[in-house]
Amino acid sequence: MDQAPAGSWTANEMMTIVAARALVSRDVCFVGIGAPSAACNLARLTHAPGITLIYESGTIGARPTVLPLSIGDGELCETALATVSVPEMFRYWLQGGRITVGFLSGAQMDRYANLNTTVVGPYEHPKVRLPGGGGAPEIAACCQQVFITIPMSQRTFVERLPFITSLGHGTGQGSREALGLTTRGPTRIMTDLCVLAPEPGTCELVVTSLHPGVTREAALAACGWPLRFSDRLATTAEPTAQELQVLRDLQTRSATAHRDAH
C-alpha cells in the first residue's frame, strides 16, 4: 500500500491510526468517547468494515458518518443495528461477556496500565476534579481484552496514580487472577510516540514499537517511570495514504457537523 510522504502526518494522527490497526473486523468493541471513538471508526472505514461498535448509550452496531461529540449523539442510534437501555447495556452485554475489546483512554496511567480519570490530588480535596469513571471500571474488568489510547507525557505516564479508576494489571503479574478476573485486561497501549504492551511474566508495560522518527530518548523523556523497551523493539509502520485520507475526511466531516449542529 502507498506510504504517505514522510513527515506529512502528525503524532496524533499516527496515534489514531496505530490504534485503529489493533482492531479486526470480527471484534465487538465497547467504544470510549474521544480518541478511542476516532480510532474505532477509522478501523471500520478502512480494514475492519465488519466491526461491531458499541457505545455505552445503548447503541449496538453503530455506523456513524461523523464522529459523535458525545456517546449518545442521535446518529449513533439512527445507524445502529439495535439500541437498548443503559441498564441492559451494562448487565446483558458488558457484564454478560459479549464484548471482545474495550477501548479506553484516561488522564493518567501507571506502568501496569491502571488508569485514573477521577482526581488529581487527594479525593476529598482534589487539586483537579476529573469527570470520573463512567463505564470504565466495568469495561476494564468485563471485556475480553482492553486497548488504551493515550498521549504520552510526564503528566500522563506517572510513577504512582493518585486514584485507580479502572484496573489494568494491578501491581503486576497475577493481580487480576487474584481478584477472580478471567479477562485479559490491557493488552496494547497506543500513544503518540510508541506502542506498549505488558511484558510476559511481569505485566509491566514495555515499548514494543517506536513510531517512525521517534527515538528511545524521546520516549524515556515522556514517561514518569524508568521506561523499558522490548528485546524485539520494532518500528511502527508509517501511515498509508489511505489511512490518512480516511482519517482526515472523517475529522473534517465531524468538525463541520459539530459546528452547525443547530
Partner 1 sequence: MEGFTHLIPFAAAHEVLRQGRRHLTLVRMTPDLIYDQLIGMGAADRLIFSWGGNPGVGSLHRLRDAVENGWPQPLLLEEHSHAAMANAYEAGAANLPFAVFRGYIGVDLPKVNPRIRSVECPFTGERLAAVPAIRPDVTIIHAQRADREGNVLLDGIVGVQKQAVLAAARAIVTVEEIVDRLDAPGLNAVVLPSWTITAIAAVPGGAFPSYAQGYYRRANGFYTQWDEISRDRERFRTWVTQNVLQQGPDAFRAYSPRAR
If one asks whether residue 30 binds partner 1 (CB under 8 A), the answer comes out as no
The CB-of-218 to partner 1 minimum distance in angstroms stands at: 27
The CB-of-77 to partner 1 minimum distance in angstroms stands at: 5
The Cα–Cα gap between 242 and 25 comes to 18
Residue with cell 479486526: 24
The number of residues in the chain equals 262
Among 11, 84, 237, 241, binds partner 1 (CB under 8 A): 84
The Cα–Cα gap between 42 and 123 comes to 36
The Cα–Cα gap between 85 and 83 comes to 7
The Cα–Cα gap between 133 and 135 comes to 6
Nearest to 151 by CA among 91, 187, 196: 196
Given 56, 204, 238, 243, which residue is catalytic?
A: 56
Contact 35, 16 (CB under 8 A): yes
Among 164, 197, 218, 241, binds partner 1 (CB under 8 A): 164
Nearest to 15 by CA among 247, 256, 255: 247
Among 83, 145, 202, 242, binds partner 1 (CB under 8 A): 83
3-class secondary structure, 153:
coil
Among 13, 43, 163, 211, binds partner 1 (CB under 8 A): 163
If one asks whether residue 32 binds partner 1 (CB under 8 A), the answer comes out as no
Number of helices (H), then strands (E), in the chain: 8, 14
The Cα–Cα gap between 83 and 167 comes to 28
Residue with cell 443503559: 86
Active-site residue, 75 included? no
Instruction: Kindly indicate which of the ranges 9-17, 172-180, 189-197, 234-242 contains the residues binding partner 1, using the contact rule CB under 8 A.
Output: 172-180
Among 50, 180, 200, 226, binds partner 1 (CB under 8 A): 180
238 DSSP assignment? P
The CB-of-171 to partner 1 minimum distance in angstroms stands at: 10
If one asks whether residue 92 binds partner 1 (CB under 8 A), the answer comes out as no
Please give the angle made by the CA atoms of 151, 153 and 155, to the nearest 5 degrees. Answer: 110
If one asks whether residue 165 binds partner 1 (CB under 8 A), the answer comes out as yes
If one asks whether residue 106 binds partner 1 (CB under 8 A), the answer comes out as no
If one asks whether residue 175 binds partner 1 (CB under 8 A), the answer comes out as yes
Among 35, 146, 148, 167, binds partner 1 (CB under 8 A): 167
* Per-residue contact flags (x/-) with partner 1 for residues 221 to 260, judged by CB under 8 A: ------------------------------------xxxx
Contact positions toward partner 1, by CB under 8 A? 33-34, 56-59, 68-74, 76-78, 82-87, 89-91, 94-95, 118, 123-124, 126-138, 141-142, 163-167, 170, 175-176, 179-181, 257-262
| Residues taking part in catalysis | 56
